[in-house]
């Protein structure tokens, strides 16, 4: 019931003309700046912490993690590196963040190996959703005051349950598919430089 209610609210507000006019009048960048946050400037720096990894059994491990986000010599391209583990050289993934359309909050993470991941700035979170190897993955970088919260959620792309798609008490109920959540990774990182 809550999911259907949330779905109905999202559909209502997505279609509501006044909200549409507001989103057309101001870009995602403007909304973020109104909160005193500038993307990607406030995300830049070297951030360190620990990454906790969970599956259905609970926490499976904790490893050191860092993000190294920095300006480059090329306008609108930033270093967007992730470092996993104690070995900061072998564990470093040198990605880059580029602009697709800043007015729409659309960016791209270039993994420098032919993989490009589209990412969208929503409020104070840069979110990317993609599929690989039979799994959906969503990653987010959320600026939470003085911390950068890094989250990865992974779930199988095969639904485990399909419900709805009916008329219930005179109301059209949409088709709803449920998926098995497989992995959650989460880190709260502090800027060290």
Averaged over successive runs of 10 residues, the pLDDT of the chain (193 residues) comes to 39 38 41 71 97 97 97 96 94 97 97 97 96 96 95 96 96 96 97 95
Q: Residue 129: give the domain boundaries.
A: 2-191
Q: What is the pLDDT of residue 37?
A: 85
Q: What is the pLDDT of residue 103?
A: 95
Residue 83's nearest CA partner among 59, 63, 103, 61 is 63
Q: What is the pLDDT of residue 18?
A: 38
Q: Work out how many domains the chain is built from and give that number.
A: 1
Q: What is the pLDDT of residue 34?
A: 54
Residue 47's nearest CA partner among 191, 180, 169 is 191
CATH number at residue 93: 2.40.128.20
Measuring CA to CA, how many Å separate 70 from each of 47, 110, 117, 126?
A: 11, 14, 19, 16
Which structure tokens are listed for 66?
């860092």
Global confidence as pTM: 0.80
Q: What is the pLDDT of residue 35?
A: 62
Computed from CA positions of residues 129, 151, 181, 96, in that sequence, does the dihedral angle turn out positive or negative? Answer: positive
Catalogue the long-range contacts made by 112-118 (C-beta closer than 8 Å, 24 or more residues apart). Answer: none
């Amino acid at each position: 019931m809550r999911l259907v209610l949330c779905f109905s609210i999202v559909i209502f507000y997505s279609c509501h003309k006044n909200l549409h006019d507001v989103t057309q009048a101001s870009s995602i960048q403007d909304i973020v700046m109104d909160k005193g946050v500038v993307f990607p400037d406030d995300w830049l720096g070297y951030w360190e912490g620990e990454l906790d990894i969970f599956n259905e059994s609970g926490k499976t491990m904790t490893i050191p993690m860092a993000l190294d986000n920095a300006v480059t010599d090329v306008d609108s391209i930033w270093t967007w590196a992730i470092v996993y583990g104690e070995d900061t050289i072998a564990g470093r993934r040198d990605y880059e963040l580029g602009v697709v359309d800043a007015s729409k909050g659309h960016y791209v993470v270039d993994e420098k190996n032919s993989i490009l991941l589209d990412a969208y700035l929503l409020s104070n979170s840069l979110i990317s959703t993609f599929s690989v190897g039979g799994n959906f993955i969503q990653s987010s970088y959320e600026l939470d005051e003085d911390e950068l919260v890094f989250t990865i959620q992974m779930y199988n792309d095969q639904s485990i349950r399909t419900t709805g798609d009916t008329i219930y008490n005179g109301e059209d109920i949409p088709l709803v598919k449920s998926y098995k959540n497989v992995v959650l990774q989460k880190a709260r990182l502090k800027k060290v430089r």
